[in-house]
Structures are given as C-alpha cells and as structure tokens.
Structure 1
C-alpha cells in the first residue's frame, strides 16, 4: 500500500544516517538542520527525534558510522606500516591527493560512502568543530582519537627505532604533533587554500620530527 500523498514515509534508519552523513560532510556538522535532513529523507522531524532521541543522537550515529569504517579499514593499515611515507600519504589523502597505495590505501576500499564533492576526512572535519558538539558526539570523537593514538604510537615507536624519526623526541608528543598537522591541513583546505601549498606546509612541518634522510620536500 502506498503512503498517502503528503504523509512522510516510515523512517528508514540507515538511509537517514547516510543522508545526514552526506549533508554533514558537505556542509559541516554544525551547519545542517534537522529540518533539512527530514525534508531530504521525506520523514518527519518528530520521527527523527523518536528514533535518535535528539540531534546529538543523530550526529553520534552518523559519526560512529564513519569511525567504524576507519577502525576497520583505515587505521589498521598502520599495524603493518613500517615507513614514514605512510603518514605523509595519509595527510596528503585528506587534502585531495591520490596516495601511493604501497604506503597508504586510505578509505579507497569503501569509497562508495564518499559523497560526491566531499572535502577531506569527515572525522577531522568533525574534530575541528568539537567545541560545538554535545556530549554523546564529543565522546565518540574522544574515543576514536584514543583508539587511533594507541595504533599510531606503535607505528611511531618503530619509526623511531629504525631512525626515521628523531630519536630524542617523546613518542606521545610526536603523536600530538602529527595529529595537529592533520587538523591543520583540514582547516587550511576547508578555508580554500590550494592543496599544493598545504602539501609544502605539511612537508616543512614534518621535517621537524623526521630525520634528514627520510624528509620529503
């Protein structure tokens, strides 16, 4: 039986999350209203609130969909990575460069989730807006950051042991520095800076922690 004309259809949770992901990614997680998502999904606002409790609940579900993909397909690439070029290629990928898949495949295995015209990494885009988020979504940002940190620390320790990163530097501080460069590259890209210029900035920044033999200019 078809829905009566004008009556919103029953809520398809997965479809709504996919629509919200696309909208949040394209326009910014703090720039999209529940009303606009409801309209695109052809469902009612009360239906969304009933399904997700509140806007924070929807944002959490959307972010969790993306971070689950990163947990399964992207971050584990660092478990077998042994070259500093992995982190270079990772950062390059978030600003629109094709990567050398010898070192980093990125999200290419699940690229069908990428909205057409999306900029950068959705997680990093959300992280830049962390101060605007409510508790549940903010907590997922923190949880994923902790997960990523633990994987990265093992990778960075190996780079230090093989002479690719300056040995006198503290591993935790190296991680914070790299995390800051990823955020910086996202911020510059979102503000319209040419990706070639961003690449130069990132290469210069990483030269502070990478030994001369392995520095990329």
Structure 2
C-alpha cells in the first residue's frame, strides 16, 4: 500500500437492489404485504438491515419501490393489451387470458393486495396505490371511449363506471386464482361477468 492509498473501511456496497426488489415482490405476493417484515426480506435476500435502509430509506420506501417495479413489469403488460386498440371482444378475451394464464399472477396481484390493505401501508406507498388505481381506471375508460367514438360499442352507462366494474371483476378473478380455485370455474365466472360489457 502506498502512502496515498487508504484502507477501505466497513463493508463494500455490493447489494443488488434489483435482486432485493425481486425478493420483496415475491414475498409480498405470497402474503399480506403489511405482514412481511423488513427482517424477513433481509433474511430472504441475504442482506443486512442497514444495507436495505441505505438503499430504500425505510419500510415504506421498500414497499413503494417494490410496487413500482411490479407495476412496470406486470401492470404495464396489462395496459399494453388496452393500448392495442383492438375490438372489444378480442380485448376482453386477452384480458381474461392474461389474468388466468400469466404465471406472475399465480399467487395473485400485488397491486390489488396492496390496495385492499393500503390502510396498513406507509404514506408514500398508499399514495402510489391510489395513483396506480386512478391510472388503471383511466386506461380502461380511455379504451372504452375509443370503442364508443369509433361506433364499435355503445352503452347507456358512464364509461368510468364500466371501467371500474371491469377492473374489479379482473381483481376478483386474480384473488380467486391466488386461493387456488379451479381455473375453469374462474374463467367461466369472469367470462359471464364481462358478458354484460359485451352486450352493453
């Protein structure tokens, strides 16, 4: 070691934040996110609590970052179905297939789980849940209005109401899937629930 070199103190920062978020998302999906402790995440990710706090600030920062990562990867694919601007029937069919066949949703949807228990989450995560919820309703409503404006679909009900209904039916199917209910039965129920939109 030369006179100008100084020994490194402490542990080097080698934590892979993306890998930690993958662990956190997986853990939050398997249980109620508010019941998953920081200690549990640290143990599963083989990192120290100080390292986690340096990266994410606090538990609220971790749940927020996890939700953002999940939204980008999973919810982004759902919104992409709407952005194709296909006709109503193939779009609804694609949404049903996505909800029931995507392996990332096998244990449910992290967004819906966090929304259901948002009162137990930190303020920043709660705010993001509300923002994503509003964005999702807007995405569904924009798609439905596009179909309406093109003369391909009509309804005497407000598109915002139908958009919310569509979201909730998909959420119910994902909740049923997480509890290992029969997929064929879930598909039949969801198809029936969405038939009122097809006939609107």
- What TM bracket, shorter-length normalisation? 0.7 to 0.9
1:163 & 1:197 partners in 2: Cα distance?
33
Q: 1:46 aligns with which of 47, 50, 57?
A: 50
**Superposition RMSD on alpha carbons, in Å?**
2.8
Q: What displacement does 1:37 show? A: 1.2
1:192 & 1:8 partners in 2: Cα distance?
43
Q: What's the TM-score once normalised by structure 2's chain length?
A: 0.79
Query: Which structure has the larger Rg?
Result: 2
Q: What's the TM-score once normalised by structure 1's chain length?
A: 0.74
1:123 & 1:178 partners in 2: Cα distance?
15
1:88 & 1:94 partners in 2: Cα distance?
10
Structure 1 residue ranges without an equivalent (≥5): 1-6, 99-110, 213-217
Structure 2 residue ranges without an equivalent (≥5): 1-10
Is 1:186 aligned with 2:174? yes
1:27 & 1:182 partners in 2: Cα distance?
19
Which structure carries more helix by proportion?
Answer: 2
8 Å CA contact retained: 2:92, 2:194: no
8 Å CA contact retained: 2:99, 2:174: yes
Q: Counterparts in 2 of 1:1-217, with a 5 A limit?
A: 10-70=14-74, 72-84=76-88, 85-95=90-100, 97=101, 114=104, 118-161=106-149, 165-211=153-199
Aligned residues: 189
SS of the residue 1:30 aligns to: helix
Q: What displacement does 1:162 show? A: 5.5
2:107 & 2:34 partners in 1: Cα distance?
15
Cα 1:71/1:189, change in 2 over 3 Å: closer
